[in-house]
Amino acid sequence: MPILLLLCVMLACLEVAWPAPWLGTSPGQCIAVMLAAVGGVVGLAGFISYSTARRLRTGQDRERVLRRYLRLRYLHFFSLLAVFALLLYGLGWGWAVQQLLCMDPSAVEPGRAPLTWPGSELAIIAPLLAMLVGSWLIFFDVERLIHRTATPDLATERPYWSRAGYVWFHLRMNLAIIALPATLNIGYQGLARVYPGTVHSDWFMVLMGVGFVALILLMPIYLRLLLGLRSLPAGPVRDRLEATARRLRFRCTDLLVWDTSRGVANAMIVGLIPQVRYVLFTDRLLAELEPEELEAVLGHEVGHVKHGHMFLYMGLLLGGAMVLGAFWSMVEGLLNRLEEPPQWLRDLPPSYLALGPLATLAVYVFLGFGFMSRRCERQADIYGSRAVSCQRGLACTGHDETTPLADEARGLCPTGVQTMINALERVAMLNGMHRRKPGWLASWQHSTIANRCEFLEAIARDPEIERRFQRRLTVLRWAVFAALAAAMLAMGLIGGWEFVLPG
């Protein structure tokens, strides 16, 4: 979800002339239409919340009610994005903002974006934020009811969030992905409008490169502050996890707890280098999983680091963005060479032309990146199984407190595999995910729990399956980067390097 929101925010922050409203309304009327659209989306959230709460209170089958609720939440989210796109491309919201915040209306050129005041992009994305926050305010009631009816003991052990706390949690969770790139983009565009010579200077480009690297390396500190993460308290759980990390030869700065008011069961690693790297566990994961399952979850996350998945993901995203950027630059260059472009192309607003790069990037992320990510998740599942395995292999019949586990995840036994499977099943259950049909958005990056568990069961029966999988994944990684390089080369030869590598 945050990735889709980020794409929408980046779309809204494009430096383009937004089309006038289809109905030819004034900026003031566009504001009224925008408010009505926001109210409609929030009203849809109210209908979903009310109907779900009524079904829960009347004693209908809880599992079916929750599956229906999750489907409706997905529908609501996509409706929200569709309404925002309609506001920009049909109802004139972007045009109205540019008209109202134009620095010099007399200098506006046809077909070019008006020179607006720095930070005007915040006004363009304001309806998106309003729809999100308004919907969270409404969904709080049914989410609290779901929490209380699922685990009544938690109501006395720890009260659920307040409404403000619930909204603030979701805002922070989404801001963790969106805020930094959006802020940097808005700041860069504002600076370019006021001081265009500065942003094109060599020293500024060098400064941007150094700053980008620093931001990537220091991102864990930013996330720790934004999400309000705290160190895992001293005790048996921390001691066991630290011992597992030492056994796996894994270094990190700290083990952190993410307080979700028992709403989320998840874990992740953030940070590219050990000096600024954290392992995050949500409060519900720590409370609900058995100690050996927590070790398997830690092993899964460590597997991402040991196999270099973070660097792989960065390479795939940056490489794909470069290739797609070069492709559209080449297309633009070839179109400019046409002596007589088609009339429909001349009449098309520049903001519509900007949809092409973003649309192809979205397709690449969800198909290409998702395809590779699902295989990396399986590789991390294998490492998580090895992290809690002994060296007896297929001869293993079970573990007890005295069973020595293999150092550096060099063993693989049926007990370790079953522990990883138990952890996956428990996490799915805690998060309300259907084992086989969680929805495409819930499985495009991780695959379904059923498929992951069946794969682990297969390698427990036949270790050769794992060896074949590892070889194929290695070949696939190199083939993908070779394909990206070949695509860049082909576009340079076809379209000319002046378009593929501008400047």
Domain extent listing, the chain? 1-200, 202-288, 309-500
DSSP secondary structure string for all residues of 197-234: HHHTSHHHHHHHHHHHHHHHHHHHHHHHHHHT-EEPPS
- pLDDT one-digit tens code per residue, 172-223: 888 777 877 788 777 877 777 777 777 778 788 888 888 888 888 888 998 8
- pLDDT one-digit tens code per residue, 374-397: 999 999 999 999 999 998 988 998
Percentage, residues of the chain above pLDDT 70 = 91
CA-nearest of 180, 189, 177 to 4 is: 177
**Residue entry with tokens 């070019």:** 112
CA-nearest of 295, 455, 465, 312 to 386 is: 295
pLDDT tier at 349 (50, 70, 90 boundaries)? low
341 or 301, greater pLDDT: 301
Please give the Cα distance from 503 to 499 (Å, whole number). 9
Give the pLDDT of residue 155.
Answer: 46
| pTM (2 d.p.) | 0.85
Please give the Cα distance from 168 to 171 (Å, whole number). 5
Q: How many CB atoms lie within 10 A of CB 400?
A: 5
Give the pLDDT of residue 503.
Answer: 45
Please give the Cα distance from 23 to 3 (Å, whole number). 32
The strand pair at 278-282 and 254-258 is best described as: parallel
Beta strands in 150-253 (DSSP E): 230-231
The strand pair at 267-270 and 254-258 is best described as: unpaired
Nearest-10 crossing angle of helices 120-150, 62-89: 170
Please give the Cα distance from 462 to 455 (Å, whole number). 11
Please give the Cα distance from 5 to 178 (Å, whole number). 7
Alpha carbon of 453 to those of 222, 343, 426, 464: distances in Å?
A: 34, 55, 12, 17
Please give the Cα distance from 142 to 69 (Å, whole number). 10
Give the pLDDT of residue 158.
Answer: 63
pLDDT exceeds cutoff 60 at 366: yes
pLDDT exceeds cutoff 70 at 496: no
Please give the Cα distance from 16 to 14 (Å, whole number). 6
Please give the Cα distance from 68 to 78 (Å, whole number). 16
Q: What are the strands of the beta sheet with 267-270, ordered from one edge?
A: 230-231, 254-258, 278-282, 267-270
- The upper half-sphere exposure of residue 47, i.e. CA atoms within 13 Å in the direction of its Cβ, equals 9
Mean pLDDT along residues 221-236: 90
What is the fold, at CATH topology level, of the domain defined by 202-288?
Zincin-like (3.30.2010)
**Residue entry with tokens 């309003």:** 130
Give the pLDDT of residue 266.
Answer: 92
CA-nearest of 348, 371, 364 to 446 is: 371
| Contact predicate 149/62, CB 8 Å | yes
